[in-house]
Amino acid sequence: MNKITIDDIARDLGISKTTVSRSISGKGRISRKTRRMVLDYIKEHDYTPNPIARGLAQSKTYNIGWVVPGDSENFSLPYFQLTMFGMCEAAQTENYDVLLIMSYDSDISRLENMLKNRKVDGVVLGRTWENDLNIKALKENGIPFVVIGGTNEPDVVQVDNDHISACSELTSIILMKGTDKLAFICGNSAQVVNQTRREGFVKGLEKCGKSAKDALFYVDCDSAAQIERATDEAIRTGAECIVCADDYIANSVLVKLSRDGKEIPKDIKIASFYNSALLEHNRPPVTSIQYDPRQLGFEAARTLIAMINGEQVQPKKLLGYEVVLKGSTL
Amino acid sequence: MNKITIDDIARDLGISKTTVSRSISGKGRISRKTRRMVLDYIKEHDYTPNPIARGLAQSKTYNIGWVVPGDSENFSLPYFQLTMFGMCEAAQTENYDVLLIMSYDSDISRLENMLKNRKVDGVVLGRTWENDLNIKALKENGIPFVVIGGTNEPDVVQVDNDHISACSELTSIILMKGTDKLAFICGNSAQVVNQTRREGFVKGLEKCGKSAKDALFYVDCDSAAQIERATDEAIRTGAECIVCADDYIANSVLVKLSRDGKEIPKDIKIASFYNSALLEHNRPPVTSIQYDPRQLGFEAARTLIAMINGEQVQPKKLLGYEVVLKGSTL
DNA sequence: TTGAAAGCGCTAACAA
DNA sequence: TTGTTAGCGCTTTCAA
């Protein structure tokens, strides 16, 4: 067991523990020689400072909290987990660790508890809602935090995919290829990401001289049943292409279409605003937008730690994307 | 900000901070009256003990570590995340938090670091390998830990799905329905779960008077290409049913079959030893085994915390399952 | 450049 | 039943 402490080092080396502490942290003036000596000793004896003790002394935990929705459907799980991996990577390089905070829809008690306990130095919010209670709690608390996703709350540091550009680009490409009547299906519209994607969709319409009135909208489709109903209605109303806000929607639409014996893209085209690896094996492959959740998480954690260190950070960072055209919109 | 400390309470109430501490923890003798008084004060002033300070004093962190594979393919992500949710639930009830530890295949440096830093009181291992280096490091360190999955390392507390019973049951059911020639496809055989499922499969064969020689085995199929090759060969060799070790394999097999225009179950039957929600929309639905990853995580964390508290725990706990027969094996 | 001493906020022997 | 007194292992003034 690693039971050696800073006192042991000081005693063995015949110096004060202040000097040892300074040698380790690099703060304050220290002769190169003394510092070398301490560092060598540490290496040789495999000493690791106790982060709890350091935490107590500096009122820091060297942990960041990751608020992850505990109630999301299975399809979004990989997305969240990949952002989590990215966060861990970023945290690691700064010697931080990641602590989990489960959130359920409107129940923010887990987060509140964590804030009261002061077990984290900052928080990353994995998903944003309209009128987000988590954001309110975080603001009120004053702890540094960054959100992944958009928000119209002022003074919130955000990292997000550039959904607007991405969705508008994909939408206009579809239109320019001669498809005229589009249907848009999305889930819970209280989630900011669904609002943003809708906005991008409309922008894409407008870029091609159309407006929202020229398309069909099915929002708040949370269950498979609702999505299937929307699909049915879209087809009956003459939609030529169904644009799905995410892969969960796309999957349900695909199942429905195959059950009805519709052929893609002959009978109806389909595109998705989020491409998870889970859809990639579909026949035909689905036109979609490719993001990098891992990078998203990385950026969020990196930004957060910079904030914790008192650095100035960019208030809103948008990451890139790639529109991938495939057989489903040929 | 919650800046009130135990000293403030002691001063305000005219008692010693020991008494305050005791009132909070409930340890030692305390008059009901004093305790009430302290508790009331705490409630009124919204005091929360500083867990860092408590941690330093008791050499405890009230964190448990969750070793999660950072390199698993997307299909297993939901499984891992669901166990993670279960862990969080269990941890929460005991006032513990969950800290992430990413692991990559054979690189256990993250875990070693965490152990050296003593930022967790115990560890849950999310996946087990043959000759698992994580297990060795944990044993050597002496920290309490439980593994999810099987292991032949002695003296390791395990929580696992009962893969042997489940797989053997499903296998024998398929055989009893008149299917004769089975093929088994699985991924990396250094992962214990794949070994265990294979064992269950063989046991199922034996229950029906067959042996391993009567079936086709394709192990270490890690890539889609390998799985497709295995599928091809299985069919050419006369397999009537392809039994897939998990949903990732099943998905690739399904894609391959549909591309080749094979009809399920007419041309070939298919079953999976793990049913994720990701496959549930397949047409026809796939016969498979249903586990509850959330409960698995819950049980693991609960057991770990019991160990941390010095309680005696069951060395090996197997959880239930459900064999779900669907159209793919009709 | 170094050291002494006083915390950080809590727990736990030991006394009273 | 309660209080006194040392810590837990580190950081950080303030002096030397």
A265 shares a domain with A211? yes
A263 shares a domain with A202? yes
The CATH number of the domain holding residue B114 is: 3.40.50.2300
For residue B174, the Cα-to-chain-centroid distance in whole angstroms is: 27
B1 located within any domain: no
Protein-covered nucleotides on strand D (Cβ within 7 A)? 1-5, 7-13
For residue A58, give every residue at least 6 positions away whose Cβ sits within 8 Å of its Cβ, in sequence order, or none: none
CA distance to A253, B215, B244, B268, per residue, from B263 (Å): 22, 22, 17, 7
For residue B261, give every residue at least 6 positions away whose Cβ sits within 8 Å of its Cβ, in sequence order, or none: none
Whether pLDDT at A1 is above 60: no
B184 shares a domain with B277? yes
Quick one: pLDDT at residue A3? 81
Cβ(A194)–Cβ(A187) under 8 Å?
A: yes
Alpha-carbon span A18 to A8, nearest angstrom = 12
B270 shares a domain with B167? yes
A81 shares a domain with A53? no
Tokens representing residue A125 in the block: 């919010």
Cβ(B81)–Cβ(B70) under 8 Å?
A: no
First to last CA, chain B: 64
- pTM here is 0.94
Closest-CA residue of chain B to A80: B81
B112 located within any domain: yes
Query: What is the average per-residue pLDDT within A217-231?
Result: 95
The CATH number of the domain holding residue B23 is: 1.10.260.40
A94 located within any domain: yes
Residue pLDDT, tens place only, A67-110:
999 888 888 889 999 999 999 999 999 999 999 999 988 889 99
Is the Cβ of A225 closer than 8 Å to some Cβ of chain B? no
Average pLDDT, chain A: 93
A1 located within any domain: no
Query: What is the average per-residue pLDDT within A137-158?
Result: 95
A17 shares a domain with A124? no
B80 and A80 within 8 Å at the Cβ level: the answer is: no
A92 located within any domain: yes
Q: What angle do CA A215, A219, A220 make, to 5 degrees?
A: 175
Quick one: pLDDT at residue B258? 86
B167 shares a domain with B157? no
Q: What angle do CA B51, B56, B61 make, to 5 degrees?
A: 55
Nearest Cα of chain B lies from the Cα of A172 at a distance, in angstroms, of 30
Q: What angle do CA A173, A174, A180 make, to 5 degrees?
A: 130
Share of residues in chain A with pLDDT > 90 (%): 87
Pick the residue with more confidence: A278 or A115?
A: A115
Residue pLDDT, tens place only, B74-89:
888 899 999 999 999 9
For residue B313, give every residue at least 6 positions away whose Cβ sits within 8 Å of its Cβ, in sequence order, or none: B157, B303, B306, B307
B214 shares a domain with B117? no
A270 located within any domain: yes
What count of residues does chain A have?
A: 330
Pick the residue with more confidence: A75 or A119?
A: A119
Alpha-carbon span B236 to B216, nearest angstrom = 11
B255 and A281 within 8 Å at the Cβ level: the answer is: yes
> If contacts are CB pairs under 8 Å, which of residues 76-115 in chain A contact chain B?
77-78, 80-82, 84-85, 88-89, 92, 97-100, 102, 110, 114
Other beta carbons less than 10 A from residue A50's beta carbon: 18
Cβ(B147)–Cβ(B158) under 8 Å?
A: yes
B303 located within any domain: yes
Q: What angle do CA B190, A89, B99 make, to 5 degrees?
A: 75
The per-residue DSSP string of B191-227 comes to: BHHHHHHHHHHHHHHHHTT--GGGSEEE----SHHHH
Cβ(A227)–Cβ(A56) under 8 Å?
A: no
| Domain assignment of residue B80, given as a range | 63-161+293-321
Alpha-carbon span B303 to B313, nearest angstrom = 7
Residue located via tokens 């705490």? B42
Is the Cβ of B196 closer than 8 Å to some Cβ of chain A? no
Of A5-14, A139-148, A206-215, B177-186, minimum mean pLDDT range = A5-14
For residue B103, give every residue at least 6 positions away whose Cβ sits within 8 Å of its Cβ, in sequence order, or none: B67, B68, B69, B70, B110, B111, B134
Give chain B's domain count. Answer: 3
A70 located within any domain: yes
A283 and B142 within 8 Å at the Cβ level: the answer is: no
Cβ(A139)–Cβ(A160) under 8 Å?
A: no
* CB nearest B77 (choices: A53, A63, A81): A81
Task: Locate the DSSP E strands across A214-309.
Answer: 216-218, 241-244, 269-272, 287-290
Residue located via tokens 């901070």? B17
Query: What is the average per-residue pLDDT within A262-286?
Result: 89
Q: Domain end: B58, B75, B95, which one?
A: B58
Residue pLDDT, tens place only, B101-115:
999 888 899 999 999
Nearest Cα of chain A lies from the Cα of B105 at a distance, in angstroms, of 15
- β-strands A63-69, B63-69: how paired? unpaired
Q: Across the 330 residues of chain B, what is the mean pLDDT of every consecutive 10-residue run? A: 83 91 87 91 92 92 95 87 96 95 90 93 96 95 96 96 98 96 96 97 97 97 94 96 95 90 94 86 88 97 96 96 94
Tokens representing residue A12 in the block: 């063995």
Element (H, E) at B318: strand B316-319
B1 and A92 within 8 Å at the Cβ level: the answer is: no
- Given pLDDT bands bounded at 50, 70 and 90, which one contains residue A2? low
Alpha-carbon span B110 to B103, nearest angstrom = 7
Residue pLDDT, tens place only, A15-52:
999 999 999 988 888 889 999 999 999 999 999 999 99
* Nearest to A322, CA basis, from A300, A295, A297: A295
Residue located via tokens 């669901």? B82
Residue located via tokens 């429905």? A256
B251 and A74 within 8 Å at the Cβ level: the answer is: no
* Nearest to B67, CA basis, from B20, B1, B8, B113: B113
A267 shares a domain with A299? no
Whether pLDDT at A177 is above 70: yes
* Nearest to B16, CA basis, from B28, B61, B44: B28
Tokens representing residue A252 in the block: 């349900």
B285 shares a domain with B168? yes
Is the Cβ of B158 closer than 8 Å to some Cβ of chain A? no
Cβ(B84)–Cβ(B70) under 8 Å?
A: no
A297 shares a domain with A154? yes
B258 shares a domain with B306? no
